[in-house]
Amino acid sequence: DVKVTQSSRYLVKRTGEKVFLECVQDMDHENMFWYRQDPGLGLRLIYFSYDVKMKEKGDIPEGYSVSREKKERFSLILESASTNQTSMYLCASRRPLAGGETQYFGPGTRLLVL
Amino acid sequence: KQEVTQIPAALSVPEGENLVLNCSFTDSAIYNLQWFRQDPGKGLTSLLLIQSSQREQTSGRLNASLDKSSGRSTLYIAASQPGDSATYLCAVNNFNKFYFGSGTKLNVKP
């Protein structure tokens, strides 16, 4: 079974803090993704990574950065957390076969910025 | 930019009913479409993936169809059970970018 784990289920941070969200997958997948999920807005792609040290902006990258130094780990960084970054953050991974393959999601991190 | 819409936003049915969830998308140039299930406070679990060349996929009591030319997909759930209560999301794949609908929240009453 594919397993995608996220470092925290719940986080509470203060405005201006630097926040690290970690995602680890154990299936040697090349592609990894970070989304945020907000009521009424669905999932929106923040960043994705084709492979190690490769990254590409998604639809809402402002205020975020990412790091992929090892294949199994994809980190999302909030450089200076703001209240509008309070959200559910979901990580996913997949193998990029021709025609596409399913994404496997982690359990999510619910972040509250005060 | 691809936009994905799901209707209805919420649905409540008695146990045993057959039901249909709808998903529409604006750009038909997709690689595939996927249906997911999300339980409260949890991540997403893949239910069915339909490649752009396929018309439908089936898994147990679930059947998903795809009409790429009209930008529509449906998820059919047969003989619904209380355990089917969850939010169902569809996602379309446009060249490694995935666009999600806001989901349909399903409640199956015993």
| Per-residue pLDDT tens over the stretch B3-35 | 999 999 999 999 999 999 999 999 998 989 999
CB A21, CB A109: distance < 8 Å: yes
A47/B contact by beta carbon, under 8 A? no
Cβ A105–B44 below 8 Å, yes or no? yes
Indicate the pairing of strand A42-49 with strand B19-25.
unpaired
pLDDT at A2: 66
In whole angstroms, give the CA distance from residue B42 to residue B62.
21
Task: Report the share of chain B in percent with pLDDT over 90.
Answer: 82
pLDDT above 90 (res A19) = yes
A42/B contact by beta carbon, under 8 A? yes
Contacts of B30 in chain A (CB under 8 A): none
Q: Which residue in B107, B69, B98 sits closest to B4, CA to CA?
A: B98
Contacts of B96 in chain A (CB under 8 A): 31, 48, 50, 96
CB A67, CB A78: distance < 8 Å: no
Contacts of residue A44, defined as CB under 8 A and 6 or more positions apart, other chains included, come to A35, A36, A37, A38, A58, A59, A60, B100
pLDDT at A42: 85
pLDDT at A99: 53
Indicate the pairing of strand A4-6 with strand B4-7.
unpaired
For the sheet containing A64-70, what is the strand order? Answer: A4-6, A19-25, A73-78, A64-70
The rounded mean pLDDT for chain B is: 93
Indicate the pairing of strand B4-7 with strand A31-38.
unpaired
Q: Which of B96, B99, B104, B105 to mutate to test the interface with A (most CBs of A within 10 A)?
A: B96
pLDDT at A110: 95
In chain B, at which residue ranges do the beta strands (DSSP E only) sit? 4-7, 10-14, 19-25, 32-38, 44-51, 56-59, 62-67, 72-77, 86-94, 97-100, 104-109
pLDDT at B23: 97
Cβ B89–A100 below 8 Å, yes or no? no
pLDDT at A102: 82
> What's chain B's length in residues?
110
pLDDT tens by residue, A31-83: 999 999 998 888 999 999 989 999 999 989 999 999 999 999 999 999 999 99
**Residue with the larger pLDDT of the pair A95 and A26:** A26
pLDDT at B1: 82
And the tokens for A64?
Answer: 């975020």
pLDDT at A98: 57
Average pLDDT over residues A7-35: 95
pLDDT tens by residue, A82-113: 999 999 999 999 887 655 678 899 999 999 99
pLDDT at A100: 62
Contacts of B97 in chain A (CB under 8 A): 45, 48, 58
Contacts of B51 in chain A (CB under 8 A): 99-100
**Residue with the larger pLDDT of the pair B106 and A94:** B106
Name residues 53-72 of chain A within 8 A of B (Cβ): 58-59
A43: amino acid identity, one letter: L
CA torsion sign for B25, B26, B32, B38 is negative
In whole angstroms, give the CA distance from residue B99 to residue A45.
8
Contacts of residue B45, defined as CB under 8 A and 6 or more positions apart, other chains included, come to A105, B36, B37, B38, B39
